[in-house]
Amino acid sequence: MFLQKLRLYNFKNHEEATLIFDGKINCFLGKNGSGKTNLLDAIYYLSFTKSAINPYDLQNINYGQDGFLIKGDFNVEDKLKEVICSFQQGEKKVIREDEQEGARFAEHVGKYPVVLIAPQDIELIWDGSELRRRFFDSLISQLDRSYLENLITYNHQLKQRNSLLRAFAEHGKIDFDLLETYDSKLAVAGEYIHKVRKELLMGFVPKFNGHYDFLVQGGVENVDIQYRSDLLGADFITSLRKNRKRDLLLLRTTVGIHRDDFLFILNKKELKRMGSQGQQKSFLISLKLAEFQTIVEKKKLKPILLLDDIFDKLDDFRIHQLMKLVSQGTFGQMFITDARQGRSEQILKEAGMNARLFVLENRTFKEEWLKI
């Protein structure tokens, strides 16, 4: 699968653009602020129906306009698939595939997988557990549609249950039968999510370790990802019942998979505290490459790889190792951004790879071929 053509209307700083891509390597080059990351975000949108950067669709409309449209022509085993994602102010966002309107977002996610490696990944290490849960949720959702359905159900039920706890406190009366029906629904979805998260991690960690070892080559560093959950070794419905008193006091649900965490470990210590910047960067890249590999295994389909400012994050040795992987044909289509055109050209030349270059300048695209 690869993206053949991208059309944009009023998406962020791109008022109108049409780009025809190479099936392998494409580079977006140009000054800071020229819109390279925004192009990657448009591709991300076609896959995830949302931005990797802005949580609100409104923020992605070109300033002063009233809507945006992203259109992608994907080549899937030599068949053309047209995906359109559009949003008009005051209306609902629409995703269309081959003219078929109203596909559900949960059904679309995972059909055209992408893996993004970007500077903001560092937040995965520094932020709270929510971002790490979101990372794994997003990966699993691409592989298992019922996971996403269960996650939506769980979040909905959790909200409802918390409102119920507050309503009980307000009215000074507790309806335990009603609480039991809420708890049982929450427990079914929660148990499913827990089981899938646990299973995924078992396969994920060895891949992740393999990539880390490859990038750092024979270092004495030892990395791991550990799953923490209230549900490990406990039956969820029983825990919910056991903690009801506390929940009624605190007016929120204090056990469940919404509190899960994935600990990032380096040499038996928390990466956040102990890892050097270089070690943290290598950790994140290995994490994303393991994501890529997991999708390939489960879907028999190579995701599109979006590499935002990747070269900035790596020393020469690691760039060399990464390009070695790339040239082995491990990856499918790739989009690379770089503010330094010369550097990217040199790296690609050294790796012996042809690439399509798009140089962004004064709102236009200059297209070139880098041929070896």
Ligand X SMILES: Nc1ncnc2c1ncn2[C@@H]1O[C@H](COP(=O)(O)OP(=O)(O)OP(=O)(O)O)[C@@H](O)[C@H]1O
Interaction site with Mg ion (CB under 5 A): 37
Q: What are φ and ψ of residue 201, in 5° steps?
A: -65, -35
Q: Select the binding partner of residue 38 from ligand X, Mg ion, none (C-beta < 5 to 8 A, by kind).
A: ligand X
Helix 129-143 and helix 145-171, axial crossing angle in degrees, nearest 10: 140
Question: 222 contacts which partner out of ligand X, Mg ion, none, CB within 5 to 8 A by kind?
Answer: none
C-beta of 37 vs 142, nearer to ligand X: 37
Q: Find out whether 32 and 339 touch, Cβ atoms under 8 Å.
A: yes
Tell me if 32 contacts ligand X by CB under 6 A: yes
Question: Rounded CA gap, 118 and 161, in Å?
Answer: 36
The partner in contact with residue 277, picked from ligand X, Mg ion, none with C-beta cut-offs of 5 to 8 angstroms by kind, is: none
- Residue among 148, 339, 348, 357 that touches ligand X (CB under 6 A): 339
Q: Residue 362 CB, nearest distance to ligand X (Å)?
A: 13
Contacts of 290 (CB under 8 A, 6+ apart): 204, 207, 208, 210, 211
H/E stretch holding 275 reads none
Between 53 and 72, how does the x/- string for binding to ligand X read (CB under 6 A)?
A: ------xxxxx---------
Number of residues in contact with ligand X under rule CB under 6 A: 17
Q: Are 216 and 282 in contact (CB under 8 A)?
A: yes
DSSP string, 170-234: HHT---HHHHHHHHHHHHHHHHHHHHHHHHHHHHHHHHHHHHHHHHH-S-S--EEEEEE-TTTTS
Separation CA 35–CA 78 (nearest Å): 30
| 37 vs 157, beta carbon nearer Mg ion | 37
Asked if 86 touches ligand X (CB under 6 A), the answer is no
Residue of 17, 26, 37, 225 that binds ligand X (CB under 6 A): 37
Q: How far is the CB of 276 from ligand X (least distance, A)?
A: 24
Part of the chain binding ligand X (CB under 6 A), chosen from 25-33, 123-131, 317-325, 328-336: 25-33
- Given the rule CB under 6 A, which residues bind ligand X? 12-13, 30, 32-38, 59-63, 337, 339
